[in-house]
């Protein structure tokens, strides 16, 4: 089975927020969909190891902020690369409001928010699936929704290319690139052998 076939499924990206007591938290999720119309019901899947998941299980309410292509990588670092058990993910953040249910939603780099109350929940092993009735919502901008593919291609930083090791000929200055200088290598400029080369500091 080629598990890479799963990468061809289209996903959006969202900030899922919750609040328990005086603690706010949020995380990045990619599985949010409308699954019924009357009443409007949403399905949200979230990893069980996330604090946000635990809070929703206890409180039964959540907000979803739909991320746009205007989002920067810092947003994903804030909500996806640290745990709310160790950090206040909202500290120093602008572009926040509370909806009528008392939970945060994002007003910047998003195009809509939805509030929902959990009606059913299912343990799927690694994830919890929440089926929830929509209680509030608002369009915030005309920005394009950010897909997982767009994030990978246009937002996530590309890894820096590996530096090639270089060797310089002390006789003529010719630079050879490679992990080593072959024993039988002859400099194409001055015709000296391997012994004339030393590592080039870059």
Domain annotation covers residue 39: yes
Tell me if residue 53 falls in helix, strand or coil.
Answer: helix
Angle, alpha carbons 67-49-123 (nearest 5°) = 95
Structural domain containing residue 174: 166-199
- DSSP E strands: which ranges in the chain? 14-20, 23-29, 32-37, 40-47, 61-67, 96-98, 104-106, 110-123, 127-139, 166-169, 175-177, 197-199
Q: How far out from the chain centre does Cα 96 lie? A: 19
Considering the domain architecture, whether residues 132 and 85 belong to the same structural domain is answered as yes
The position carrying tokens 């999720």 is 29
Between residues 165 and 43, which one has the greater pLDDT?
43
What is the rounded distance in angstroms from the CA atom of residue 189 to the CA atom of residue 174? 7
The SS3 call for residue 5 is helix
Instruction: Give a yes or no: residue 4 inside a domain.
Output: no
pTM for the full model? 0.79
Q: Which two tokens stand for residue 191?
A: 């015709």
| pLDDT recorded at residue 177 | 87
Token pair listed for 9: 């499924």
Residue 90 and residue 184 share a domain: no
Residues 94 and 148 in one domain: yes
In a domain, 170, yes or no: yes
Residues 150 and 170 in one domain: no
Q: Above 60 in pLDDT, residue 101? A: yes
pLDDT(29) > 60: yes
Beta bridge partner(s), residue 29: 14
**pLDDT tens digits, residue range 138-171?**
999 999 999 999 999 999 998 877 777 888 988 8
C-alpha 84/C-alpha 67 separation (Å) is: 19
Instruction: List b or e across 49-59, with b for residues whose CB sees 16 or more CB atoms inside 10 angstroms.
Output: ebbbbbbbbeb
- Say if strands 127-139 and 104-106 run parallel, antiparallel, or are unpaired: unpaired
Cβ contact 136:100 at 8 Å: yes
Are residue 118 and residue 54 in the same domain, yes or no? yes
Does one domain contain both 119 and 138?
yes
Query: Does residue 161 fall inside a structural domain?
Result: no
Do 171 and 137 belong together in one domain? no
Bridge partners, 138 (sequence order)? 113
Is there a single domain that holds both residue 193 and residue 103? no
pLDDT band at 193 (very low <50, low <70, confident <90, very high): confident
Instruction: Count how many domains the chain has.
Output: 2
Does residue 5 lie in a domain region?
no
3 is a domain residue = no
CATH number of the structural domain spanning residue 39: 2.30.110.10
Task: Note whether 73 and 124 are same-domain residues.
Answer: yes
CB atoms within 10 A of CB 119: 14
53 found inside a domain: yes
- Specify if 124 maps to a domain: yes
């Amino acid at each position: 089975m080629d598990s890479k076939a799963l990468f061809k499924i289209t996903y959006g990206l969202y900030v899922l927020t919750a609040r328990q007591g005086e603690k706010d938290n949020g995380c990045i999720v990619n599985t949010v969909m409308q699954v019924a119309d009357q009443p409007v019901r949403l399905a949200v899947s979230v990893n069980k190891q996330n604090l946000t998941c635990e809070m929703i299980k206890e409180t039964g309410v959540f907000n979803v902020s739909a991320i746009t292509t205007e989002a920067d990588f810092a947003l994903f670092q804030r909500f996806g690369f640290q745990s709310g058990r160790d950090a206040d993910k909202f500290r120093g953040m602008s572009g926040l409001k509370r909806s009528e249910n008392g939970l945060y939603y994002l007003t910047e780099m998003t195009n809509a928010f939805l509030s929902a109350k959990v009606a059913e929940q299912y343990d799927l092993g690694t994830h919890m699936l929440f089926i929830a009735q929509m209680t509030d919502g608002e369009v915030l901008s005309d920005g394009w929704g950010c897909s997982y593919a767009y994030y990978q291609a246009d937002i996530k930083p590309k890894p820096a290319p590996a530096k090639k090791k270089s060797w310089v000929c002390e006789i003529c200055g010719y630079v050879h690139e490679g992990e080593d200088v072959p024993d039988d290598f002859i400099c194409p400029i001055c015709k000296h052998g391997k012994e004339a080369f030393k590592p080039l500091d870059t």
